[in-house]
Amino acid sequence: MEQSDGLIEIPGSDRRIHWILSRKDTPHNLFVVPDGLSESKKNSALVLQVKKWAPFSNTDFVVQWSGTKASVYAWNADQAKHRIVENRLNPSKCTILPESCLKPAHTDGPRLLKLAEGYEGQIWDGGFLRFTRWWNVVPTQREWTFFLRTTGFDAQDPSLVDPTVRDEDFIDSPWIGKTNFLSDVFMLLQGRRIQLYACVTLLAPVMYFTAEIFTLNLGNEVLEREIAVLNEESRAVRLERSEAIDNLNWIEESLTLQQYPHLIRIIESFTRLVDPYDLELVAWNYNQGELDIVVRSKTPLDPTFYIPLLEKEPLFFDVRGSLRGTGRQYRDLRLQINVTPEQRENS
C-alpha cells in the first residue's frame, strides 16, 4: 500500500498483488449517464465523462453502478504503473485499487473513515456511495457540518453533528467493480496458445476490412472515370451558365448605381416645403446626392428657420445654409442639401 513516506506491505495471498493507492491520490466523483443505454454504451458514456473530469493525461478508475448513477474513484495510471515498476513488480500481475475500496462498505447515512493517510467522509444511500471528501486530519465539527449540508443531510440532527471516526479492517476483496476490463483480459493471456488464438481473433476483422477497402477503391476508380466523362459532356452547358450569371451580375451592379431618387421628386419635395413662404428660386445645381439651391425673398431670411424645416423631410438630411446680400438686407439664401439614398431590398 502506498504512503507518502514509502510502502506498507499488508499480508495476504501471493497469487495476485493488490497495489493499494492512498486516498489523497484517488479523487472521487458521482456521474449520471443517460437512461435506456445498454451496458456497453453505459460504460462508454462513463469513460468519456471521466476523461473529461479527471486531471490526468492517462486515467484509470473503478466504478460502482446504481441504475444510471456511477460512483467513481480515479487515479493517474502512468504514475501508478511507474511506482509498481520502481518496486521491481510486474504491473500486469498487480490489481490497482484505492484504499477506500478495501474497507467495508456502509449501508446508509454518513461515515467518517480512518485511512492509512488522512480521513474520508462518506455519504451512503442504500449501499451506494454517493459523496466523499478527504481530509488530512480529523475534520472539525464545522467542517463536518458543512460537508453534511453540501450533500443534503440535516446538519441539525444531533446524531450526525459529532464526526465519530471509524477505524475499519481491510476486507479480502473490493466492494467496487473494476472498469479497465480489457487490461484484465490480456493479463489472463499468459499461455502461448491463448495468445495465438487472441491474435488470430483480432486480425480476422482487420483482414476482412482490408479486403473491403480494396474492393471499394476499385469501385471508386470506375466512379471517377464516369464522373470525368460527365464533366466533359456538360462543359459547354456550364460555360453558358457562367456567362449568363456574369451578365446578371453586371445588370444588378448597374441598378445599384441608381441609389438616389429621381431629380423631379427632389425638386418637388423642396418646392412643397418652401412654397408657403413666398420664396423665389434663383439658381440650383444637383450632383449625385447633393442639391445646391439659392432662393430669394422680399423680406430678410433666417437660415435657422429653413434648415430644420427641410430636415423634417425624410428625403433630406445634413442641410447647411448661408446668407447672401449686403448690409442687413439678406434677401438671398443658399441651401446645400444632402439627399437620402433610396432603400433597396436585396433580391
Buried b (16+ CB within 10 A) or exposed e, 282-306: eeeeeeeeebebbbebeeebeeeeb
Task: Note whether 72 and 46 are within 8 A (CB).
Answer: yes
Instruction: Phi first, then psi: give them for residue 108, nearest 5 degrees.
Output: -140, 150
Check whether residue 180 and residue 217 sit in a common domain. no
The predicted model gives 239-264 an average pLDDT of 69
- 257 or 263, greater pLDDT: 263
The CATH number of residue 285's host domain is 3.30.1360
CA dist 230 and 234 (Å) reads: 6
Check whether residue 204 and residue 331 sit in a common domain. no
* Final residue belonging to a domain, choices 233, 254, 275: 254
The 10s digit of each residue's pLDDT in 65-120 is 999 999 999 999 999 999 999 999 999 889 999 999 999 999 998 999 999 999 99
The yes-or-no verdict on residue 243 having pLDDT over 90 is no
The 10s digit of each residue's pLDDT in 291-308 is 899 988 888 888 899 899
* Final residue belonging to a domain, choices 139, 163, 191: 191
Residue 346 lies inside a defined structural domain of this protein: no
Task: Note whether 322 and 249 are within 8 A (CB).
Answer: no
Check whether residue 104 and residue 206 sit in a common domain. no
What does the pLDDT read at residue 345?
39
- 93 or 254, greater pLDDT: 93
What does the pLDDT read at residue 278?
85
Check whether residue 223 and residue 275 sit in a common domain. no
Check whether residue 187 and residue 197 sit in a common domain. no
- 162 or 219, greater pLDDT: 219
Check whether residue 14 and residue 138 sit in a common domain. yes
The yes-or-no verdict on residue 161 having pLDDT over 80 is no
Residue 242 lies inside a defined structural domain of this protein: yes
Check whether residue 148 and residue 223 sit in a common domain. no
The yes-or-no verdict on residue 185 having pLDDT over 50 is no
The 10s digit of each residue's pLDDT in 197-230 is 677 788 888 888 888 888 888 888 888 888 888 8
Check whether residue 203 and residue 147 sit in a common domain. no
Q: What are the Cα distances from residue 9, in Å, to 3, 18, 23, 86, 185?
A: 11, 10, 17, 15, 26
Residue 172 lies inside a defined structural domain of this protein: yes
Check whether residue 73 and residue 202 sit in a common domain. no
For 197, the grid coordinates are: 488464438
Residue 163 lies inside a defined structural domain of this protein: yes
The count of structural domains within the chain is 3
Domain residues for the domain of 164 are 2-191
Please write down the HEC assignment for all residues of the chain.
Answer: CEECCEECCCCCCCCCEEEEECHHHCCEEEEECCCCCCHHHHHHHHHHHHHHHCCCCCEEEEEEEECCEEEEEEEEHHHHHHHHHHCCCCHHHEEEEEHHHHCCCCCCEEEEEECCCCEEEEEEECCEEEEEEEECCCCCHHHHHHHHHHCCCCCCCHHHHCCCEECCCCCCCCCCEECCHHHHHHHHCCCHHHHHHHHHHHHHHHHHHHHHHHHHHHHHHHHHHHHHHHHHHCHHHHHHHHHHHHHHHHHHHHHHCCCCCCHHHHHHHHHHHHHHHCCEEEEEEEECCEEEEEEECCCCCCHHHHHHHHHCCCCEEEEEEEEEEECCEEEEEEEEEEECCCCCCCC
What does the pLDDT read at residue 207?
82
Residue 94 lies inside a defined structural domain of this protein: yes
For a pLDDT cut of 70, what percent of the chain falls above it? 81
Check whether residue 96 and residue 230 sit in a common domain. no
The predicted model gives 153-169 an average pLDDT of 76
Burial class (CB in 10 A: 0-12, 13-18, 19+), 313: middle
Give me the chain's average pLDDT, please.
83
Check whether residue 34 and residue 111 sit in a common domain. yes
* Final residue belonging to a domain, choices 234, 254, 274: 254
Residue 344 lies inside a defined structural domain of this protein: no
Check whether residue 234 and residue 125 sit in a common domain. no
Residue 154 lies inside a defined structural domain of this protein: yes
Residue 345 lies inside a defined structural domain of this protein: no
